[in-house]
Structure 1
Amino acid sequence: MKVLPFTIPVPHGQTIIVQEEILPHFYPHLHRHAEVQITWIQEGEGTLLAGNNMHVFSGGEVFVMGANQPHLFKSSPGYFAEGSQKQVRAISIFFNPNGKLAALFNLPEMQSVQSFFAQWQNGFKIPAAVTGNFSASIIKIQHNTGAAQLALLIDMLNAMSTTASLQSLSSESYTYSMTDPEGARIASVYNYIMHNYSSALTLDEVARVAHLTPNAFCRYFKKHTRTTFIAFVNKVRVNEACKMLLNGSLNNIADVAYSCGFSSITNFNYVFKNIAGKSPRDYINDYSGAVKTDR
């Protein structure tokens, strides 16, 4: 497997970069960059991996990734199917508060905004109730240049700093102090797990991907992710199960469990409740899922 650079450079010559994507699927590799990233998902669904946590994403949502926060918008498997006509659409805004904009962020008038982003360096999701306001701001920034574009960005960042009920994307205890080679190794492991979660993954198998012995891999993974290998695999599987339960893509809970790599329905129910805080059946009922529950 080709290991891509973990730090993805964003084009220079500008302090605000606006990127519009219309693609068959999102960039499929874990990566990071010095810029804060604000992304409006216009079309597409899948799993957002941010730091050491995972979130289901779909069209209409707005996410903010902190500077140097490892992240990956993993499109759902249907986007990679042969002959798929699916596409994703998104607009992202990138800016580096510690680069050319540092002098601006250090102004007394920007203290509250600067403090806000320092507090939320692990990223956050904009609440659904105000997503429309921020997606409109993103469009305005996209269609302006120069001082007008900068003023619109400041206005949007100020609005974010006063928005309530933000959802953190990653654990507060998770830090990103790893080198590019370390990040590339973790990225290769993440990518392997997220593409093979439905099979019976073994510690030996994944350790080989990282070119480590099983014991060394366990220590390495825990050090850099603040979670265990088993816990991470279970998070991936439960995350995928949540999507299947809600979209009704399979006939019953047992089918979902086995499709996500669990070897028994008993183990699935236990792990699901431990991570999601409720049983699969209660999860379906609470979110009006379409899966038929076995009686």
Structure 2
Amino acid sequence: MEFVRYQVDAGQHFYDKLHQHPEWQLTWIKEGKGQLMVGDYLGRFKPGDVYLFSANMPHVFRSDPEYFSPEWSRQSIGYTLFFDFEALGNHIWEVEEFAPLQQWLLQIKGCYHVKGMTNSFIQEELMLFGKKEGLDKLMGSLHILRQLQQSKEMKLLNKLIPQKNYTETEGKRMGQVMSFILAESHRTVQLQEVADLANMSKEAFCRFFKERTGKTLTEFLSQVRIHHACQLLQETDLSVSQIAYQSGFQNLSYFNRAFKKFRGETPKEFREKF
């Protein structure tokens, strides 16, 4: 049993299945980009991003499609610390010095994007953490937690906090659904085929999905498609209409309305910023 576990993930792409675990997770994306899905949040991750996940938050770093291509040569690299507070036992919270940490842990729920000087500090610490052992490892982890506790540079990403943990079956089912949506969002996706994938009736699936994402399947699909459109607007010279159809929208005017509702600006205005 250990309080803190250090892990470096290096490969063509990150682990692409939605998952959760009882440990808290602090991850620095050193290389690679794609979509981060956690709770009701879906957004882009890129090199230099640092994220903190509280316990049992379902999440996945879904690398962009090119990272799954056999011809792709660049790596995805992430540095992670897993904190197992259960390993400390309950008696440690009776120690006066640990009271502020316990209070902070009770308040911090969800996924946080760590920015600014705190982000730079975490990157430096994680780069060197693999060399630490014994008390140095313990003291280093507490030093990192203290910096996070005192930081004003953490932005909460997800609004919906799961009220109960997924069972293993529910987690696997949700993971299959999310992988399918991310892979197939470029085309028309029918409710029935997603419900069939989850082995549920349409009515039961709609309740299951809304409870865990805070959105209907249609709303979530639009969000995924708009995120993909944002990427294409930034990284390609394709026309707005080409991007709309490549992202899964069958109607240009609907794409423009949905984009403005979600982003607060038109696709053209978004592109001009970059």
The question of a shared fold, defined as TM-score above 0.5 by the shorter chain, is answered with yes
1:261 to 239, 248, 260: 248
Residue type at the aligned position of 1:267: Y
CA distances 1:144-201 after superposition (whole Å, capped 9, x unpaired):
0111111111111111111114211311444343311112111111111011111111
The structure that is helix-richer by fraction is 2
Q: Distance in 1 between matches of 2:226 and 2:211?
A: 23
CA distances 1:86-112 after superposition (whole Å, capped 9, x unpaired):
210111100112333654455322222
CA displacement at 1:50 relative to structure 2: 0.9
CA contact (8 A) 1:198 1:237 kept: yes
TM-score, normalization: structure 1? Answer: 0.87
Residue type at the aligned position of 1:46: G
- The answer for the alignment partner of 2:268 in structure 1 is 281
Q: Unpaired runs of 5+ in structure 2?
A: none
CA distances 1:180-231 after superposition (whole Å, capped 9, x unpaired):
1112111111111011111111111111111122222212211232221111
CA contact (8 A) 1:70 1:176 kept: no
- The answer for the alignment partner of 1:157 in structure 2 is 145
Residue type at the aligned position of 2:261: N
Q: Percent of counterpart pairs with the same letter?
A: 27
Q: Distance in 1 between matches of 2:14 and 2:114?
A: 20
* Higher RCO (CA-CA < 8 Å; seq separation 6+): 2
- The answer for the alignment partner of 2:239 in structure 1 is 252
CA contact (8 A) 1:28 1:74 kept: yes
Q: Distance in 1 between matches of 2:232 and 2:194?
A: 25
Is residue 2:134 matched to residue 1:146?
Answer: yes
Moved more, 85-94 or 124-133: 124-133
CA displacement at 1:115 relative to structure 2: 2.3
Q: What secondary structure sits across from 1:150 in the alignment?
A: helix
CA displacement at 1:250 relative to structure 2: 4.2
Residue type at the aligned position of 1:253: V
Q: What secondary structure sits across from 1:20 in the alignment?
A: strand
- The answer for the alignment partner of 1:217 in structure 2 is 205
CA distances 1:1-35 after superposition (whole Å, capped 9, x unpaired):
xxxxxxxxxxxx32211011110100010001110
CA contact (8 A) 2:4 2:82 kept: yes
Q: Distance in 1 between matches of 2:243 and 2:164?
A: 33
| Aligned residues: CA RMSD | 1.7
- The answer for the alignment partner of 2:216 in structure 1 is 228
The structure-2 alpha-carbon separation of the partners of 1:104 and 1:43, relative to structure 1 and needing over 3 Å to count, comes to farther
The structure-2 alpha-carbon separation of the partners of 1:216 and 1:83, relative to structure 1 and needing over 3 Å to count, comes to same
CA displacement at 1:141 relative to structure 2: 2.5
CA contact (8 A) 1:27 1:74 kept: yes
1:26-105 matched pairs, under 5 angstroms: 26-100=14-88, 102-104=90-92
1:94-133 matched pairs, under 5 angstroms: 94-100=82-88, 102-104=90-92, 107-133=95-121
CA contact (8 A) 2:31 2:78 kept: yes
Moved more, 190-199 or 120-129: 120-129
User: Size of the alignment, in residue pairs?
Assistant: 274
TM-score, normalization: structure 2? Answer: 0.93
Q: Distance in 2 between matches of 1:106 and 1:235?
A: 45
CA distances 1:117-145 after superposition (whole Å, capped 9, x unpaired):
32222020101453211111222332201
Moved more, 98-107 or 228-237: 98-107
- The answer for the alignment partner of 2:124 in structure 1 is 136
